[in-house]
Structures are given as structure tokens and as C-alpha cells.
Chain A
């Protein structure tokens, strides 16, 4: 386990599905190198991937900031986009505003936020309609 703190940033482009998954796979590699528990790695990549794809599918652009220290990984996804008017409703399984094109790809089941909730020790979403959304995910390496 490292004694240093690590920080990474990844830009995310709205609508660009073919680039989706890169930050998650980089984070996965880094956590593996740090010998983080496999289950924590799995949970983290699911939560991060879903949050990233939400920017791609629903927002214009965003940034993913990842901070890793000896006890946890902290991920903050900040986007410029339409925002989420009713976060409680958005969290419901099956609720989705995805476009027909996005649904055709198999996204838009309305399950992403639920997956994030299940796979994050802490999930905090704040959003301003017409401006954007901030998603914060924290996973601890030792329970």
C-alpha cells in the first residue's frame, strides 16, 4: 500500500460513448497495483463507470477527479449539463430520460444510479437544473 496520495483527472465528453470506460479501467489498474481488495475494486469500477456514462448520456461535458490515499478512494464527477430536477425520482430503478438512440445501445434502463448506490460506501449527488451535477463517490479499502 502506498504512503503517498494520488490524484488523477479525466475529461469526459458528452455523447462520446466510444471513449467511455477508460477512466474506470485506469482506476482499476491503479487499485490493483496498490493491492486493494478485489471486491472494493469491483464495486469502485461499477460505480465510476455508471457515473461516467451518465455524463456521456445526459450531460454536455465533465471532469472526473480521483483521489486515492491509504484508506480510501474519493471520486468526484462534475458536469455541465441539464442537471437533475428530482434526484429521489432519478434514483428509482427504471426511471430514465435517455434518448431513443441511447436506449438502442442498451443504456437507459434507469439502473445506473441504483448500481452506484449499491457499489459505493458513500454516494452524494448535488445538482442544479440548467447548470450541472456533482456526483461524489467514496469507497474505503478496509471496512
Chain B
């Protein structure tokens, strides 16, 4: 599934520029601990988190993640957004909590 398809199916908000939406999602990883993601998330995963700073994008880029989803209506800091656009890795937003949105994404990817 592409990021764009996921956005449509779950009604996610695209907070960054509309670039990188064609990236393929191979799975998901839910964590707010950056070293946990660094150590365990693989390329192509969508990262569900409440962290809103620039280092999130540094990690997303180094790990070649598909996109980042910010939960509970959290908004990215300006430098996170700027970095997202440079890396062309979308930052998405949802009002849902991590448990709910992770479950919905899991279901879509595994059905």
C-alpha cells in the first residue's frame, strides 16, 4: 500500500508538502523512543509517534521509513516539517491515539 492510499483510507491529514506520498508501506512501528526505532524499525515502515522534533526526520531518513504519523493531533515543529520536505518523507497527522491508529493501520496492511 502507498502512503497516499493509507491517507485516503484512514482520512489522515498530510501535514508536510505532498511529496513522498507514493512511497510503499511495508509495515509499521509504534514507539516514542528514538533509539528503539533506530534499532528495530526497518525500511518502508510507517512510524507512529508523538515526537514532533527534527530528529524524528533524521531517523526516518537514515532508516528509509515510508512516513511518520503524529498521534492525538500533535503538530510537527517547524524544523521537523522543513526536514520532512527535504527528505520527501511525509508527516501525517491523526486525532486518534497511538493504540487506535496502529490497530487500524495494522488491519489495513494485513487484510
Name the distance in Å between A111's Cβ and chain B's nearest Cβ. 4
As a 0/1 sequence over residues 15 to 54 of chain B, the CB contacts with chain A under 8 angstroms (1 = contact) are 0000000000000000011111011000100000101011
B-contacting residues, A107-143, CB 8 Å: 107, 109-112, 114-115, 118
Nearest-neighbor residue (CB-CB) of B50 within chain A: A106
Instruction: For the complex, give the distance between the alpha carbons of A49 and B38 in Å.
Output: 9
Q: A97 on the interface (CB 8 Å rule)?
A: no
Instruction: Using A21-B62, A49-B59 as known contacts, say yes or no to A105 and B53 having CB atoms under 8 A apart.
Output: yes
Q: B56 — which chain A residues lie within 8 A by C-beta?
A: 106
Question: How many contacting A-B pairs (Cβ < 8 A)?
Answer: 66
Instruction: For the complex, give the distance between the alpha carbons of A107 and B31 in Å.
Output: 12
Q: A42 — which chain B residues lie within 8 A by C-beta?
A: 43, 63
Contact between chains at A21 and B59 (CB < 8 Å): yes
Contact between chains at B33 and A105 (CB < 8 Å): no
B-contacting residues, A72-110, CB 8 Å: 105-107, 109-110
Interface size on B, residues (CB 8 A): 20
Contact between chains at B51 and A111 (CB < 8 Å): no
Q: A115 — which chain B residues lie within 8 A by C-beta?
A: 35, 38-39
Instruction: For the complex, give the distance between the alpha carbons of A49 and B37 in Å.
Output: 12
SS class of chain A's interface: helix, strand, loop or mixed?
helix
Contact between chains at A105 and B61 (CB < 8 Å): no
Contact between chains at B58 and A25 (CB < 8 Å): yes
Choose among B33, B36, B39, B63 the residue with the greatest number of A CB atoms under 10 Å from its CB.
B39
Choose among B35, B43, B59, B63 the residue with the greatest number of A CB atoms under 10 Å from its CB.
B35
Q: B104 on the interface (CB 8 Å rule)?
A: no
A-contacting residues, B54-74, CB 8 Å: 54-56, 58-59, 61-63
A-B contact pairs, 20 of them (CB 8 A): A17-B53, A17-B55, A18-B54, A18-B79, A21-B59, A24-B58, A25-B61, A42-B43, A46-B38, A46-B39, A53-B55, A105-B55, A106-B56, A107-B35, A109-B34, A110-B35, A111-B35, A111-B39, A115-B35, A118-B39
Report B's interface with A, CB cutoff 8 A: 32-36, 38-39, 43, 49, 51, 53-56, 58-59, 61-63, 79
